[in-house]
Amino acid sequence: MTPRLLAHALLSLALLLPALPAHPNDFDYRLAPRMIAEGVYVLIGTTEDFSFANGGNIVNSGFIVGPAGVIVIDTGPSRRYGEQLLATIATVTDRPIALTINTHHHPDHFLGNQAFPADTLTATPETIRGIQSEGEDFNNNMYRLNGDWMLGTEVVVPGKTLAAGRTTIAGRALEFLHLAGHTASDLVVIDHDSGTVFAADLVFWQRAPTTPHADIPRWLAALDRLAAIPAQRWVPGHGEVSGDRSPIRQTRAYLEWLADTITRGAEAGLDMTEMLETPIPAAFADLSLVADEFRRSVTHLYPAAEQAALER
């Protein structure tokens, strides 16, 4: 093969291969903890889809440093992320991990569990069942979406259940709310010492919500509960931290539009192809991934809406 033909062949091969990580430095997530209140830290993911470039770092994780230890809120999308999160925590404090929480069973929130002490892993009973039943499929699919960022990642199921209510852990006054709607079980963590609410994926901010396991009426009811909390700051599952309830209002408005649009389409007898052509209102047009998430939501939710319309 001539040098020119070889060059063309290599170029063609490169175009067929997945994109390499954005940072070629040994799959470094570049985690940067941000202190948003005394002892409260967040790590903000991108508002993108999973990809070979971001390694699945599209999620917000966090940790709270108490006098006697650290409470971790979600462990991220891979073993690598979990290990780097644990190392990041060590740059802030040498206190031990007291509790590691999975807020729900979506893969970007629990696939970093391997990195944390097994006896600290906890979730609601419904989330534990979800990880047990769907975790392996999630893990396999994440490898397809994120490539070698996922190497070595295994599903680790929390061994402890987390009760709802107020408690003190590692010297911090916390409260756990067992809500639902985004999934069958969505855990909210309130740090009363700082007035911070970790709302997980019940709240998205400047990014269209995902709905693969959604029950929108229950989700809207959960948002009502959240809106009644007298908090100082809100940490959504995806998107920037907010000092007010704007993310709750935005998430509610989008879900109400989505539910109404799907119901009206089903009652009008539109087929799924026609539904997929629905224009996105100007109020939501700037949300990250809104066109993609709307299409996915129609795929997830429209068959049930059609069945309900037929039964009526």
- Report all structural domains of the chain as residue ranges with CATH numbers, in order of start: 18-245 (3.60.15.10)
Q: Using CA atoms, how far apart are residues 15 and 30, in angstroms rounded to an integer? A: 26
Q: Evaluate whether 104 touches 202 at the Cβ level (below 8 Å).
A: no
Comparing 18-27, 252-261, 279-288, the range with the smallest average pLDDT is: 18-27
pLDDT score recorded for residue 25: 56
Total residues found in the chain within this entry: 312
What pLDDT band is residue 258 in, cutting at 50, 70 and 90?
A: very high
Query: For a pLDDT cut of 90, what percent of the chain falls above it?
Result: 91
Predicted pLDDT of residue 123: 98
Say whether pLDDT at 288 is over 90: yes
- pLDDT at residue 18 is higher than 80: no
User: Residue by residue, what is the 3-state secondary structure of 134-195?
Assistant: HHHHHHHHHHHHHHHHHCCCCCCCCCEECCCEEEEECCEEEEEEEECCCCCCEEEEEECCCC
| Residue whose structure tokens are 């807020």 | 103
Interval 78-118: pLDDT, tens: 999 999 999 999 999 999 999 999 999 999 999 999 999 99
- pLDDT surpasses 50 at 6: no
Better-scored residue on pLDDT, 20 or 280: 280
Q: What pLDDT does residue 312 have? A: 80
Q: Rounded to a whole number, what is the distance in angstroms from the first to the last CA of the chain?
A: 68
Instruction: Give the pLDDT confidence of 23-68 residue by residue, as tens digits.
Output: 545 899 999 999 999 999 999 999 999 999 999 999 999 999 999 9
Question: What rounded mean pLDDT belongs to the chain?
Answer: 93
Residue 23, pLDDT score: 52
Mean pLDDT along residues 177-190: 98
Range 190-223 burial, b when 16+ CB lie within 10 A, else e: bbebbebbbbbbbbbbbbbbbbebbbbebbeebb
Distance CA 279, CA 272 (A): 14
311 pLDDT band, cuts 50/70/90, is confident
Q: What is the pLDDT of residue 83?
A: 98
pLDDT higher than threshold 60 for residue 12: no
Separation CA 54–CA 68 (nearest Å): 34
Q: Over pLDDT 70: what percentage of the chain?
A: 92
Token pair 């990642």 is at which residue? 153
